[in-house]
Amino acid sequence: MSAHYPIFLVVAPLMAALVIAIIARERPGLCPPLAAIALTASLWSAAGMLCRVLAEGPFSYHIGNWPPPMGIAYEVDHLNALVLVAMAAVALINLITTRQAVASDFTGREGYFYALYLLFCAGTFGILVTGDAFNLYVLLEITSISGYALVGLGHRDAALASLNYVFMGTIGASLYLLGVGYLYLITGTLNMADIFSILPRLFGSKVVVAAFVIAMTGLFMKMALFPLHGWLPNAYSEAASPVRSLIAPLTTKTMIYVMVRLGLYVFPPDFTFNHLLFAKVVVWVAAAGIVCASVLALSQTSLRRMLAYVLIAEVGYMVGGFWLGNRMAITGAILHIVNDAAMTLCVFLAVGSFTHQLRDDRFATLKGCFRRMPWTMVVLATAGLSMIGVPPTCGFFSKWYLIGGALTADHWGLVAALIFSSLVNAVLFFRVFEIAYYEPFADPHQEHRPALSYAEAPATMLAPMLFTAAGLVGLGLLTGRIVTHIIDAAIPAAIL
């Protein structure tokens, strides 16, 4: 069994999605447990693969026993084993937490929601594990199309936001496909390891440069790097809350993983970082993006729209860190993929709790929330502190590596952008805390406190949320081990 973990990881949610879609109408009650079982199986496989990678080193799985480069291989190494465990855990925790919100938001359509949810997860896990450039495109589209449908399930202007997401997402994916086409044209193979071994002989080729720039630009669109972020704020704020807390941690982070995979293991790192001016330009774009997204976050009036812009700034952190091209910065970028997935899950679960209990998450609604929903506010506060970067939460450590890497590279622009964004995050989150803690103000003359109803979320939602919040601190405390045992091995030794 354990030899088949890489394929089991993808097949379990895929098959469960099929079964759920069939039984959705007759047995809606069976759908959530089935989805939970499938995602538990995926998490189990991901954890098993991480253990095997740590014990034996990277391994590959040949689908249908066809050896690469002819067949499709699933390659598992330190980099994707780590990200896989994080993503599988995020998907499972979100599934458990949002059980009640799904029941009230999607009454009568629950089964179809879970089928899409599992398809989305299957695609994401496939992207993370595959070692074939074209297979990655297909899985990317499986994820995207189920993502479009999930966003479109929301109310109000969700369909419009989703269609906009379809347009931007399709251009991004098509550019990636075109890049892969150029790579195939010049190397004659689609297997990533094979491309990697052939490319050093072709450094002078314009086709390789075209493939690189086109594929990376496509990925930047999919990951919502400023200024290609247009689809993200509306798509994330119009989506229903269970959808939001699924796609916000998974989509952009998976795309950043793909960028890291292409930059380190498809294109040789020497080509990625030194051969073109591209890397330097991207770092500056990321720095500008961090600043602009942080400023835009200041002007939002609801929690989820504010967080959508914070998320765009976080994409800038990882992109900027990666393209600096030194070991410390890339460590920070990879660590931030995991940490940001956990932080984003945590904040959006808290937002989901507000929208489920109070039906709104505008700042005006949050008045007095420390008294009305104390535990949810604890979760939000932990995640907020982590996004600001307060030790011992995990956000501090990845930012530490990113700033350290930027200092090593003498890139003061990115250092300034990172620090500016941390300060803006402090303002953003403490403004929310202030509204929730101090307002509504007591009447000074009559000494009476306004009546506030206690509206805490049910324990079944709270328990996994508190677990996630504790996980942010736990991840922070484990940073040393994650970096020395996993991330160090995930970065090629040639990068100093």
Partner 1 sequence: MTTAGYINLIIAKYNYWIYIVLMCIGLWAMIAKRNLIKKIIGMNILQTAIILFYVSIATKKGATLPILGHHDAGHFVDYATVINPLPHVLMLTAIVVSVATLGVALALAMKIYNRYDTLEEDEIHARVRES
Residues that bind partner 1 (CB under 8 A): 134, 137-138, 141, 145, 148-149, 152, 157, 159-160, 162-163, 166-167, 170-171, 174, 177-178, 181, 184-185, 190
Name the token pair of 263. 């930059």
Q: How far is the CB of 143 from partner 1 (least distance, A)?
A: 12
Residue placing its CB nearer to partner 1 in the complex, 157 or 434: 157
Q: How far is the CB of 135 from partner 1 (least distance, A)?
A: 9
**Tally of CA atoms within 13 A in the half-sphere of 346 that contains its CB:** 30
Residue placing its CB nearer to partner 1 in the complex, 40 or 205: 205
Q: How far is the CB of 202 from partner 1 (least distance, A)?
A: 16
Q: How far is the CB of 123 from partner 1 (least distance, A)?
A: 12
Q: How far is the CB of 136 from partner 1 (least distance, A)?
A: 12
Residue placing its CB nearer to partner 1 in the complex, 144 or 421: 144
Burial of 130 (0-12, 13-18, 19+ CB in 10 A): buried
Residue placing its CB nearer to partner 1 in the complex, 134 or 400: 134
DSSP H helices in 130-205:
133-152, 158-187, 192-198
Residue placing its CB nearer to partner 1 in the complex, 69 or 368: 69
Q: How far is the CB of 250 from partner 1 (least distance, A)?
A: 18
Q: How far is the CB of 223 from partner 1 (least distance, A)?
A: 19
Q: How far is the CB of 113 from partner 1 (least distance, A)?
A: 15
Residue 246's nearest CA partner among 56, 33, 42, 102 is 102
Contacts 24+ apart (CB under 8 A), 38-41: 38/12, 38/13, 38/118, 39/12, 39/13, 39/88, 39/91, 39/92, 39/95, 39/118, 39/121, 40/92, 41/8, 41/12
Q: Respond yes or no on whether the N-terminal peptide bond of residue 242 is cis (omega within 30° of 0).
A: no
CA 62/CA 352 separation, integer angstroms: 40
SS3 302: strand
DSSP H helices in 299-366:
303-324, 327-358
Residue placing its CB nearer to partner 1 in the complex, 149 or 319: 149
CA 132/CA 450 separation, integer angstroms: 61
Phi, psi torsion values for 255, nearest 5 degrees: -65, -35
Please state the length of the chain: 496
Q: How far is the CB of 265 from partner 1 (least distance, A)?
A: 21
CA 259/CA 274 separation, integer angstroms: 16
SS3 129: helix
Residue placing its CB nearer to partner 1 in the complex, 137 or 309: 137
Quote the DSSP letter at residue 360: -
Residue placing its CB nearer to partner 1 in the complex, 140 or 487: 140
Residue placing its CB nearer to partner 1 in the complex, 5 or 182: 182
